[in-house]
Structure 1
Amino acid sequence: MTTRVLSPVKGVLAPITEVPDPVFAEAMVGPGVAVHPELTAGDAVSPVDGTIVTLHPHAFVVATAEGAAVLVHLGIDTVKLQGEGFTLHVAKGDAVRAGQPVIGWDPAAVQEGGKSPICPVVALDATAESLVDVREFGPVEAGDALFTWQR
């Protein structure tokens, strides 16, 4: 089974090791990539077609019909913002399409609040070897393919 994972935000694609949090940087939650978001307010979109299985103001997990689950985390330590500056566009249990807005946020406000706005995009329950066709690091648009996940 192959899952194509799209960028949830516009920005610059970087290795997961650039995330200033060892849980993500050392792939403890799973392998993936990170996006340094453009510092303008907008929506984070779903990286895959599926169901919202976890939803917080600062993070969400979408599970595909085949069981692949992708975590999108909007910034680091943003849980400490207690939802301020984030707008949910969906509810837990909702079916979403890749590219559909999930959470509205402002990366510049996150940065001004002293938090890193970098966005880890993680393939949960995957191995580093299962991520293939990882896009070249550099500029990405929301909805651009980041990597393919072989299950």
Structure 2
Amino acid sequence: MTSVTSPLAGRAIGLAAVPDPVFSDAMVGPGTAIDPVREPSEAVSPIDGIVVSLHPHAFVVLDSEGHGVLTHLGIDTVQLNGTGFDLLVAKGDTVTRGQAVVRWNPADVEAAGKSPVCPVVALDASADALADVVLDGEVKAGDALFGWR
């Protein structure tokens, strides 16, 4: 089972609480979401793998078993055109769990009128493929969010 850990510190709120139906209805895939602490921070890789997609507001890491995990930094943050996000790796890089991928400030995202809530999604997975999904409570970067069978 692949263990997926939190890419940042905050409060787990579950996908149903994400203010975007693409995530709240799990159209992208199952998982959970983090309401991040409102301070400058680094979003870290939730698994060991290869960065297969990288944008200022979102990244996907693919592990050796073919599991892709999407970390989306805020909702509608693509509209910020990269402002306030610093990429710390490149697409194609191999990363380890806990390695910094993007530097950002959730408070700036909120000040720009966007939700800083961060979905963490198991791509191309069914809901029953996940176990022990954390839907509430405080989490630190690196804490377990769910297992992927």
Structure 1 residue runs of 5 or longer lacking an equivalent are none
CA distance in 2 between counterparts of 1:136 and 1:103 reads 24
Q: Any residues of structure 2 matched to 1:2-151 within 5 Å, and which?
A: 2-135=1-134, 137-150=136-149
Pairs aligned (count) = 149
**Larger deviation: 11-20 or 132-141?**
132-141
CA contact under 8 A between 2:32 and 2:135: conserved in structure 1?
Answer: no
**Larger deviation: 131-140 or 104-113?**
131-140
Q: In structure 2, what residue type is equivalent to 1:148?
A: G
CA distance in 2 between counterparts of 1:129 and 1:137 reads 19
User: Alpha-carbon deviation of 1:15?
Assistant: 1.3
Partner deviation per Cα, 1:103-145 (whole Å, 9 max, x = no partner): 0000000000000000000000000111102235100001101
Q: Provide the TM-score with structure 2 as the length reference.
A: 0.99
CA distance in 2 between counterparts of 1:66 and 1:128 reads 18
CA distance in 1 between counterparts of 2:60 and 2:9 reads 19
CA distance in 1 between counterparts of 2:118 and 2:134 reads 16
CA distance in 2 between counterparts of 1:135 and 1:108 reads 23
* Aligned-CA RMSD value: 0.7
Q: In structure 1, what residue type is equivalent to 2:46?
A: P
* Shift >6 Å, 4+ stretches: none
Q: In structure 2, what residue type is equivalent to 1:99?
A: G
Q: In structure 2, what residue type is equivalent to 1:14?
A: I
CA distance in 1 between counterparts of 2:122 and 2:84 reads 26
CA distance in 1 between counterparts of 2:135 and 2:41 reads 24
Q: Provide the TM-score with structure 1 as the length reference.
A: 0.97
User: Alpha-carbon deviation of 1:8?
Assistant: 0.4
SS of equivalent residue, structure 1 residue 115? coil
Change (3 A) 1:78 1:136: closer
Change (3 A) 1:113 1:136: closer
CA distance in 2 between counterparts of 1:68 and 1:146 reads 15
